[in-house]
Amino acid sequence: MKSVLVVGGAGYIGSHMVLCLQQAGIHVVVLDDLSSGHKEAIENCDLVQGDLGDRALLSQLFKQYQFDAVMHFAAFIQVGESVQKPAMYYDNNVVKTLSLLDTMRDHGILNFIFSSTAAVYGEPQYTPIDVEHPKAPVNPYGRSKWMLEQILDDYDAAYGLKSTCLRYFNAAGADAKGRTGECHDPETHLIPLILQTAAGKRESISVFGRDYDTPDGTCLRDYVHVSDLCDAHLLALTHMMKTRKSARYNLGNGQGFSVQQVIEAAANVTGRKIKVVDAERREGDPARLIADATLAEKELGWQPKFADLKTIIEHAWRWEMRGE
């Protein structure tokens, strides 16, 4: 494998993916509209600023470079926003992604790695959640991802376009060498919000509900290190190019931590006092989301390097405190 187009490569997970591909000696081109990505997040690769729905631009890129595969990280990801603005989510996450796929087909590029999500399962019927778990997304964000997964099945059957869909649980942490990290605006994810509170950039962290059916009443999530996610992408691409088969995997560590446990772990890592405020439940939050990722371990040989929560938080904290 020589060259990969990373769409959304200037974003949180995309910028870690660029590092991972470069480490493997693969040439990387990034396409990003920089609406939420950051130019500074990537180095030593060609950055093309543009829209993933721009077919003329994509055609030009596909002619200019000989890509073996495309990885797609340029989705909108906020569940709440997707409920308020479904048109925007379906346009970006489905319609524009379709034009990316069709332009790929036009140019004979038939390998696609797709960022999917635990949100395709909706409210879990059992945990840990394996890939066979029924798909019943409960918001436009999850539905947009599930629609794309189904479209990808049809594109494989009809056009031989191979895809691997990786269903992330809770992506967290930052590059171990501090080269990139999480920078969402607005930030809605638990770990960066807790660390911003520890750093004095926020007054307090709200705990969204303490009355869930979990040991301490707060929600359980499966936090997985962003660099481990990226390792899985590279393994998945290599595997798919060898087997010529499409696949779907869950990516998580198989262990749930409660919101309260994450706050305590962050207090230990940072040595700071973190002001906690109890708040109402956030709409659409399942009590527990825990992955059964054994398929990725078995088929891809995926072994997370940074599986413990303390390391994930340490790396995120180092990123949060960069330059201070």
Residues designated as active site = 141
Q: Could you say whether residue 285 binds ligand UFG (CB under 6 A)?
A: yes
**Which of 236, 259, 265, 316 touches ligand UFG (CB under 6 A)?**
259
Contact 171, 13 (CB under 8 A): yes
Q: Which two tokens stand for residue 204?
A: 């307090």
Q: Is 161 in the site for ligand UFG (CB under 6 A)?
A: no
Report, in Å, the least distance between residue 282 CB and ligand UFG.
5
How far from 244 is each of 155, 214, 273, CA to CA, in Å? 14, 42, 52
Cis ω on the peptide bond leading into residue 186 (within 30° of 0)? yes
Listed in sequence order, the residues at least 6 apart from 241 whose beta carbon sits closer than 8 Å to its beta carbon are 1, 68, 69, 111
Strands 220-221 and 257-258: antiparallel
- Region of 43-51, 149-157, 281-289, 310-318 interacting with ligand UFG (CB under 6 A): 281-289
Q: Which amino acid is at 159?
A: Y
Q: Which is nearer to ligand UFG, 141 or 155 (CB)?
A: 141
Residue nearest to ligand UFG (CB): 219
Q: Which of 3, 22, 196, 206 binds ligand UFG (CB under 6 A)?
A: 206
CA distances from 190 to 170, 194, 207 (A): 10, 6, 9
Instruction: Work out whether 144 is an interface residue with ligand UFG (CB under 6 A).
Output: no
Nearer CB in complex with ligand UFG: 142/304: 142
CB of 124 to ligand UFG, least distance (A): 10
CA-CA distances (angstroms) from residue 187 to 3, 58, 135, 137, 290?
A: 32, 30, 27, 23, 22
Report which of 168, 152, 9, 169 is spatially closest to residue 73, judged by C-alpha positions: 9
Identify the residue among 4, 6, 104, 193 touching ligand UFG (CB under 6 A). 193
| Contact between 119 and ligand UFG per CB under 6 A | yes
Contact residue for ligand UFG among 219, 232, 251, 313 (CB under 6 A): 219
Exposed, middle or buried: residue 21 (CB in 10 Å: 0-12, 13-18, 19+)? buried
DSSP letter at 179?
S
Out of 6, 13, 48, 77, point to the residue binding ligand UFG (CB under 6 A).
77
- Using CB under 6 A as the binding criterion, the count of chain residues that bind ligand UFG stands at 21
What is the token pair recorded at 110? 């038939």
210 binds ligand UFG (CB under 6 A): no
Mark 35-54 with x for binding to ligand UFG (rule: CB under 6 A) and - for no binding.
--------------------
Partnered with residue 278 across adjacent β-strands are 207
Does residue 167 touch ligand UFG according to CB under 6 A? no
Using CB under 6 A as the criterion, which residues of the chain lie in contact with ligand UFG when the complex forms? 77, 79, 117-119, 141, 170, 188-190, 193, 205-208, 219, 221, 259, 282, 285, 289
